[in-house]
Structure 1
Amino acid sequence: GVAFKIFSHEELQEATNRFNEQQILGQGGHGTVYKGLLKGNMEVAVKRCMTINEHQKKEFGKEMLILSQINHKNIVKLLGCCLEVEVPMLVYEFIPNGTLFDLIHGNHGQQISLATRLQIAHESAEALTYLHSCASPPILHGDIKSSNILLDRNLIAKVSDFGASILAPTDESQFVTLVQGTCGYLDPEYMQLCQLTDKSDVYSFGVVLVELLTCQKAFNLNAPEHEKSLSMRFLNAMKNNKLADILDDQIKNSENMPFLEEIAELAAQCLEMSGVNRPSMKHIADNLDRLRKVMQHPWAEQNSEELESLLGESSMVSSRYTSTGNFSIERKGVMELDSGR
């Protein structure tokens, strides 16, 4: 890996053409991100905070501390920072293909296959599993949404924007004074109790899964009151056995249906009102991985033992989340896939 580097202000000014407006990649609650070109033609993204108050300084410092210690293929890499200025600037690897939000909601006319959606979901889940289970101390992202999942040239997912993240509190009594996050993705339990937990990220990830299934935005201000929230509409559709009505037409067909039902079931578990009833990110990542494998190998129908092991294990996982029909794709689903090729 590349060593963490301290950049001079001059270096970053030069790289971004003096923070030219044309270099702006995006603006978020935590600052403006510019595209930069370092000497040696290395493309980077430079995050610069605009207004300065103590709270934002802390946010930036926190993001720097958290990300400088992370090394995972599905998490955007922090290359270094600049400390000469009033507010530190952060320098990241440049991810060229925009965000998952752009891919899902942009008018680019390109078809996004279920396999690609499943891959992006699985990789994002792996990143969150790493943060929750492998980082020490564990890291809670705090603002998972489709616009914080970047995509590289090969559409590999990279989770970004750790401005709202916290190191998991060791003391249960630690409450968040300011609930951060994004409308449509916010865990209702977190809003009520002001305690950010790993299950808050799980809830937000569930919303991203529903976005991938439906191609609809997480929150629609113009919709009637009861239809504003995508998660509520989705849960209603599931409850009334009308999943097909809400799915994206691009991926809705008889071959995909068994997979779509499984992913929808997983999303519904993530969106449980009470955090303790939601699965862990590891459970979600494992199940998405298993689904991907079955999708890639429809021939497994001929080898029923292997198929059983791919599909059956999750129902034996010693977990309370072996909920209704989890991974109940019958061979029928695999045969349908087979004949559809």
Structure 2
Amino acid sequence: MEKLQLHNTHIPLFALLLFLIHFSSLQFLSLAYTPPTKYFINCGSASNVNANLRNFVGDSNSSDLISASVSRSGKGSTVKDSNESSGASPLALYQTARIFRHNSLYEFNIEDYGTYFVRFHFFAFSSLTTQTDLSTALFDVWTYGFNFTPKSYSNSAIIEEFLLTINPGKFKVYFVPRGSSFAFINAIEVFLAPPDLISDEAPLIHVSPAALINNNYTGVLSKSLQSIYRINVGGTELTPDDDKLWRTWVPDDGYINNPGAARNSTLDYRPNYRENNQNINEFTAPNQVYKTAKEMNINSSAQSTQFNPFNITWSFIVSKSASHLVRVHFCDIISPSMATLKFNLYIYGNFGLKIDSYYVAVPFYFDFVVDSDESGLMNISIGPRNDSDKPKTAYLNGLEIKEILNNSGPVPIVIAPKNNHVFLVVGSVIGGLVLICILVVVLFLVFKSRKPNSGVNSNWSPVVLVFGGGSSHSRGTRNGSLESNLNLGLKMPFAEIQFVTNNFNNKSLIGKGGFGIVYSGTFRDGRKVAVKRSEPGSNQGLPEFHTEIMVLSKIRHRNLVQLIGYCDDRSEMILVYEFMENGTLREHLYASDKPPSSWKQRLEICIGAARGLQYLHKGSAGGTIHRDVKSTNILLNENLVAKVADFGLSKTGPLDETHVSTVVKGTFGYLDPEYFKSQQLTEKSDVYSFGVVLLEVLCARPPIDPVLQREQVNLAEWAMICKKKGLLEEIVDPSVKDQIDPSSLRKFIETAEKCLQDCGADRPNMADVLWDLEYALQLQQNAMRREPHEDSTTNSSVAFVMPNVQRFPSISMSFARDDTPMLMDDGSHVKASEVFSQMRIDDAR
């Protein structure tokens, strides 16, 4: 049997134990696995299509699918290829597509826990009948495990493949158009993979400073994996017809560095799967992968000194900032008999692994998790061993590289329009739904008005909607009491929440976040609220639920979302907030069909959010660090007044001259690097995140955009690079670029740059940030009040001199000295204006 040894000069000997543990977990035979029949979806069509031994079911008219009422904002529209016989689109699968012009989703009913293949098919055809060119689409695809932007389209179909672990329940895939563009999809696959296809552990290879294994990477199956490369070394292209899991394998010729150093080898008979101890079968890789190989071209001039040591090397472009799961496939088809062939495997030229191949035609493989180096190029090599008394040669049969993805964060909001559903639901219907509705007796027990609790609308009369027996059980009783300092006056009965949301009617659904589903509701006096409900009976998110109540029940501020009430009856976790008519800040910048906000509006929104954060840090009891500041947690009311929301990750306590040691939490792209490295949380972590929001406001793009060039992926890093090069104005949002006064822009950029300093001590506090943003707004308003002939674009960029005035401390600092911050907030706004009045900034030129 194949045996793994470690190259003594590269890695410590104890890594051998890690490999043995890894492979011992694979010694049992897998459970019987039958290729699945669902879900294979032919999008935008009422017809089924047989493609590569799979039956793709049309999503428009099928007994297997529920089609909600047609709505362009949810269900989307269908489009058909005008040239059905096109050579570029040989399959009917790519002759229809579904188009979404608003945030929409597919929903799959998952019955079995396990690792699933999720594939998306894109083919950008043009439809003359609808005047639609799919190649112009710009959009993102989201799930709970990952999000991505489809690649640039070409004349052939593009298939994006992912593997992720999915729990039983609803698996949702969101399509999110960017700006005024649209999304499209030709076909989707979601099916259960063989149970032993991927192991949860693999040796972790650190590439820098020296490649070595020092532990195992645990939790592979908890991550989402994106297939980047699948190579049939020494063979031809294998199509989905050749693979029992419908995968595509491409030849290695385009990736090998020195083709003359290698030659192809083939096997004439079926590999012997029974002799290995890894439970390898034809689902691991097709027979053809193990029946072909690249081996060293011993007779080639490639053995000259310039190739010494004589290795065969393949190179692959990979993401610099990601880890990758690498699987190398071996099957000795070059030895005439049992020869115990020995050779070396190298990754990045440093990591060395001794491969001992005892048997002929017996497949085996190794998995590694490999950190990327800074080159963005992964090199994998094989070469002979000098200490071997066997033939000095080496071979490789196959190679797979999968990128390990970070979590996608909160899923997008899908808003249901009046009288229309927005979901395209895929899966099984809960049987007898209509019958249940007929049999349910809704009993309304109306009580006389009672004395209302604080925070509960005084016009309410409790209305109990009975949907089954059993008493109401408090979550506090089942899971321990809520903290004693909670404001229990905000507690609401579950029956009242049912009344407000019309028993959580789907027509009231307005979105979904990390905590749960959000509904709109209306009190008896007409006041609208937002009701956030976690999955009933779930304990997940309980600490965040408690924290949200504790924080928001103690504070009240014009720029913080107000908590109206909460419910922990019947094992429920429900939060009731004031309703924010204009959604999130992000929706007014990008990834939405809403018109972009003006520059003046953006400044006012940033100022409002800064006031809210400043009050959290210094004005609230004991001080509070938000810990998840981002554009989706800044909400806007009907007057576009900004309010900071979502306090589930917040930390409270005295923040002056102290820090909080805590597990790192937050959102990738906004996370303070100093906090990430040290796990020491301070209020300056919020300042860093707010600096990212400022850049988001300025550039109208997400903090992380993996579709861009590598140096542009991270907005904060890219903006600072442009700032140093004097090119920052070139990445300003074009929709507001002509509106911004150069002096206001300079002040705004300076503020963002100070927030993004690597060291927290070098960052300003929120009072300073607030002052600077108010100053930038005054500069903008000053430019707007000039006479028409005074062109701020030409005059200010060179001649404008910043006024030489004494800096006044932010009046918002007085919040900490007052127990009624709601009243002080209005006053502070007036006083801030008075400060700028004293500066006589209107006269500054």
What TM-score comes out, normalization by structure 1 length? 0.84
Following superposition, the deviation at residue 296 of structure 1 comes to 2.6
- Residue in 1 aligned with 2:512? 27
More moved, 50-59 vs 77-86: 50-59
More moved, 137-146 vs 77-86: 77-86
Following superposition, the deviation at residue 96 of structure 1 comes to 0.6
> Which SS does the other structure have where 1:232 is aligned?
helix
| Correspondent of 2:622 among 121, 137, 155 | 137
Structure ranking higher in helix proportion = 1
- Residue in 1 aligned with 2:665? 180
Is the Cα contact below 8 Å between 1:290 and 1:311 reproduced in 2?
no
Higher RCO (CA 8 Å, separation ≥ 6 residues): 1
Deviations along 1:283-308, one digit per CA (max 9) or x if unpaired, are 0001111222333344699xxxxx99
Deviations along 1:248-272, one digit per CA (max 9) or x if unpaired, are 1222238612211110111011011
Structure ranking higher in strand proportion = 2
d(CA) in 1 for partners of 2:803 and 2:518? 42
Is the Cα contact below 8 Å between 1:255 and 1:333 reproduced in 2?
no
Is the Cα contact below 8 Å between 1:126 and 1:285 reproduced in 2?
yes
| Correspondent of 1:258 among 734, 743, 763 | 743
Is the Cα contact below 8 Å between 1:137 and 1:168 reproduced in 2?
yes
d(CA) in 2 for partners of 1:213 and 1:333? 27
- Residue in 2 aligned with 1:338? none
More moved, 210-219 vs 220-229: 220-229
Deviations along 1:51-95, one digit per CA (max 9) or x if unpaired, are 766562121011101001111101110011113132431111111
CA gap 1:317/1:308 in 2 versus in 1, 3 angstroms: farther
- Residue in 2 aligned with 1:56? 541
d(CA) in 1 for partners of 2:535 and 2:586? 24
Is the Cα contact below 8 Å between 1:207 and 1:271 reproduced in 2?
yes
Which one-letter code corresponds to 2:513 in the other structure? G
| Superposition map of 1:180-219 within 5 A | 180-219=665-704
Which one-letter code corresponds to 1:257 in the other structure? P
More moved, 132-141 vs 292-301: 292-301
Indicate whether 1:38 and 2:531 are aligned. Answer: no
Identity across aligned pairs (percent)? 35
d(CA) in 2 for partners of 1:20 and 1:182? 31
Indicate whether 1:150 and 2:635 are aligned. Answer: yes
CA gap 1:53/1:108 in 2 versus in 1, 3 angstroms: closer
Which one-letter code corresponds to 2:531 in the other structure? V
| Superposition map of 1:238-317 within 5 A | 238-253=723-738, 256-298=741-783, 312-314=805-807
d(CA) in 2 for partners of 1:94 and 1:195? 34
CA gap 1:127/1:254 in 2 versus in 1, 3 angstroms: closer
CA gap 1:51/1:5 in 2 versus in 1, 3 angstroms: closer
Is the Cα contact below 8 Å between 1:270 and 1:279 reproduced in 2?
yes
- Residue in 2 aligned with 1:114? 599
Following superposition, the deviation at residue 309 of structure 1 comes to 10
Is the Cα contact below 8 Å between 1:25 and 1:34 reproduced in 2?
yes
What TM-score comes out, normalization by structure 2 length? 0.35
Is the Cα contact below 8 Å between 2:660 and 2:680 reproduced in 1?
yes
Is the Cα contact below 8 Å between 2:687 and 2:755 reproduced in 1?
yes
Is the Cα contact below 8 Å between 2:585 and 2:635 reproduced in 1?
yes
Which one-letter code corresponds to 1:231 in the other structure? A
Deviations along 1:35-59, one digit per CA (max 9) or x if unpaired, are 1122222211111222766562121
CA gap 1:289/1:52 in 2 versus in 1, 3 angstroms: farther
Which one-letter code corresponds to 2:746 in the other structure? E
- Residue in 2 aligned with 1:165? 650
CA gap 1:254/1:70 in 2 versus in 1, 3 angstroms: closer
Name the larger-Rg structure: 2
Which one-letter code corresponds to 1:37 in the other structure? T
d(CA) in 2 for partners of 1:255 and 1:22? 41
CA gap 1:107/1:6 in 2 versus in 1, 3 angstroms: closer
Is the Cα contact below 8 Å between 2:695 and 2:716 reproduced in 1?
yes
Is the Cα contact below 8 Å between 1:190 and 1:196 reproduced in 2?
yes
d(CA) in 1 for partners of 2:506 and 2:543? 26
Following superposition, the deviation at residue 6 of structure 1 comes to 2.4
d(CA) in 1 for partners of 2:673 and 2:786? 41
Q: Which 4+ runs in 1 deviate beyond 6 A?
A: 307-311, 331-334
Which one-letter code corresponds to 2:648 in the other structure? G
Following superposition, the deviation at residue 232 of structure 1 comes to 0.8
Which one-letter code corresponds to 1:258 in the other structure? S
Is the Cα contact below 8 Å between 1:294 and 1:300 reproduced in 2?
no
d(CA) in 1 for partners of 2:683 and 2:517? 27
d(CA) in 1 for partners of 2:556 and 2:803? 29
> Which SS does the other structure have where 1:250 is aligned?
helix
